[in-house]
């Protein structure tokens, strides 16, 4: 048993402009070297680009993109009797949202484009339309869990 204290879950404050907790979570994912202002500027510019491209509410599109990218199951390595098994486990809602945001920022960063704002905007739009790298990663995670369904009894 661990002797450490259990980490308390921090309360997320909503962002100042859209008053959305999801956007503040995305800000933390984009954040580098503590430059929160720059991260927020990138996100707000991306949301403006989304608004111009789709003519719809950008927060709704972001929510839809994250809903589409959130995995339901993932695999976790578990060591039993000298061999390691990939055991499928259900993903909790908060972790699923975090995974979706992490994948979205990762694949937006890898994308070719001029600025991070345009890359992030196009990744969000792709995810809301159920295509793009983020959705591919989700489907790959689901496929891994499906393939290792036989080891589900090793769950803990």
Per-residue pLDDT of the chain (156 residues; tens, 9 = 90+): 678 888 888 899 999 999 999 999 999 999 999 999 999 999 999 999 999 999 999 999 999 999 999 999 999 999 988 999 899 999 999 999 999 999 999 999 999 888 999 999 999 999 999 999 999 999 999 999 999 988 888 877
**Alpha-carbon span 55 to 49, nearest angstrom:** 10
Helix residue spans in the chain (DSSP H):
21-30, 36-54, 58-69, 93-110, 116-128, 133-147
Distances (CA, A) of 14 to 18, 23, 39, 148: 8, 7, 15, 38
pTM for this prediction: 0.90
Phi and psi dihedrals of 31, rounded to 5?
A: -50, 130
Domains of the chain (ranges; CATH) run 21-154 (1.10.455.10)
């Amino acid at each position: 048993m661990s002797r450490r204290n259990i980490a308390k879950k921090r309360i997320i404050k909503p962002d100042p402009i859209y008053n959305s907790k999801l956007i503040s979570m995305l800000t933390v994912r984009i954040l580098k070297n503590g430059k929160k202002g720059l991260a927020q500027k990138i996100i707000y510019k991306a949301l403006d680009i989304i608004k111009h491209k789709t003519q719809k509410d950008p927060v709704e599109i972001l929510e839809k993109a994250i809903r589409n990218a959130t995995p339901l199951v993932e695999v976790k390595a578990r060591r039993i009797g000298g061999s390691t098994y990939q055991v499928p486990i259900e993903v909790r809602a908060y972790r699923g949202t975090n995974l979706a945001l992490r994948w979205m920022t990762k694949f937006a960063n890898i994308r070719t484009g001029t600025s991070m704002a345009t890359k992030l905007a196009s990744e969000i739009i792709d995810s809301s339309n159920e295509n793009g790298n983020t959705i591919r990663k989700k489907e790959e995670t689901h496929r891994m869990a499906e393939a290792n369904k036989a080891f589900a009894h090793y769950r803990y």
